[in-house]
Amino acid sequence: MSLQEILAEKKEWRKHMARVNALPRDYKVVYKEIQKYLFKVGPMELVDGIKPLSAVLELFEEGAARGDEVLTVTGKDVAIFCDQLIQDSKTYSDEYEDKVNQEVKKALDKEANKKNK
């Protein structure tokens, strides 16, 4: 990644966070919890951009503009909301599961080869 790409992403992030800070307080609180959740769960897309967070922000801006309470927008179980948001995204957990399965297959194949000798 070039320096210009890094600077462009940083500029995009600052604009994004300025929009977050313009949200009503309850929306900001929930947004920040969603952000923490997504960073911990680790959708791979967050490495290459802020697409899931941008979708949440747009949804929150629309909800706030209508005067909806934030939990009306997300539902009372915010973790389920987050999981549904990234259900089609590859996560670090998915990648680790794939790696474990590959290692298990490799180890079993190695053991099978030892038995056949």
The predicted structure's pLDDT at residue 97: 84
Sign for the pseudo-dihedral over CA of 12, 13, 16, 21: negative
pTM above 0.85, yes or no: no
Q: Tell me the per-residue pLDDT of 9-47, one tens digit each, with 9 for 90 and over.
A: 889 889 999 999 999 999 999 999 999 988 887 666 555
Give the residues across from 12 on adjacent strands.
none
The predicted structure's pLDDT at residue 6: 81
Superfamily of domain 3-89: c-terminal domain of poly(a) binding protein (1.10.1900.10)
Task: Supply the mean pLDDT for the chain.
Answer: 87
Distance CA 79, CA 66 (A): 23
What does the domain layout of the chain look like in residue ranges? 3-89
